[in-house]
Amino acid sequence: MARILVTGGTAGIGHAVIRQLIDLGHEVIGTSRHHQPNEGPVEWFTLDLSQAESVQSFCDSAAWNKPIDAIFNNAGFGLIAPIESASTEAIRQQFEANYFGTMAITQKAMEHFRQHDQGVLMVNTSIGGRMAFPYFGYYNATKHALEASYEALWYECLNSAIRIKIIEPGFTQTQFATHGMQMSGENSPHHEQGLAWLAKSMKEGTTATPPEDVAKVIISALFDRTNQLRYNAGKHSGSLLFLRKILPDSWFSKLVAMAVLRGQKSA
């Protein structure tokens, strides 16, 4: 039995991972921005990644008093915003939660794992950590930043028993696309049609992957003894990542632009 920490464990992918870990008999620590009663099998702590004091008080909490075997840095949210009109405040908030908050937990996790000379540290980026989509540019930028940091960390841990992992899910059916998202700069006259198309496709997004399927890949990666860094999960994620790797930039961006522009015409 392992003791595993999952940030953002109340909904979506994090919740599915926690349910499956419990079913497998593991001890689970979960976090949420809101107080959760400690009456079930999960030990809950409060953590808001966008608030430095909340991150600090979680880093000082009793969660770290016993050895943790694996940490899944999952919590985060998506900002939908045209690049040209997003407010600086919204951009900073996006980076505060998804990047700076996650990296503060990463540093705490590394301190903990160095003391015990072992551990698995995984971050949830996205296929959008390897490519960018219209109106998700700032969100994608936070995930690119996490990808770079975890790739560098992977090298920095090669001479230890600490394993670094990145999971890159495709579009997953969670509350991320409904009330998990925030918007900024949406009144820009140049993007009315594009944002209407996006709202329509997200509302109809029942073809996305169930979070339970993504959770299965995450759990097998957490227990994978190899030094593999990247894993992908969900419909189309493998093929999109493959095309991104083999196609020249100009071909790949034409594919994305065609999908988006055709979609916008039919919105």
Ligand X SMILES: NC(=O)c1ccc[n+]([C@@H]2O[C@H](COP(=O)([O-])OP(=O)(O)OC[C@H]3O[C@@H](n4cnc5c(N)ncnc54)[C@H](OP(=O)(O)O)[C@@H]3O)[C@@H](O)[C@H]2O)c1
- Positions touching ligand X (CB under 6 A) are 8-14, 32-34, 47-50, 74-77, 97, 124, 126, 169, 171-172, 174-176, 180
Nearer to ligand X, 64 or 99 (CB): 99
Dist. CA 41–CA 44, nearest whole Å: 9
CB 74 within 8 A of CB 124: yes
Nearer to ligand X, 132 or 188 (CB): 132
State in angstroms the smallest separation of the CB of 189 from ligand X: 28
Q: Is the dihedral of CA 128, 129, 134, 139 positive or negative?
A: positive
State in angstroms the smallest separation of the CB of 60 from ligand X: 17
Among residues 123, 27, 28, the alpha carbon closest in space to that of 76 is found at 123
Nearer to ligand X, 75 or 86 (CB): 75
Nearer to ligand X, 113 or 176 (CB): 176
**Residue where the block lists tokens 């919204």:** 90
Residue 237 CB coordination number (10 Å)? 23
Position closest to ligand X via CB: 12
CA distances 150 to 129, 166, 189, Å, are 11, 7, 38
CA distances 66 to 27, 204, 233, Å, are 12, 44, 31
Nearer to ligand X, 162 or 215 (CB): 215
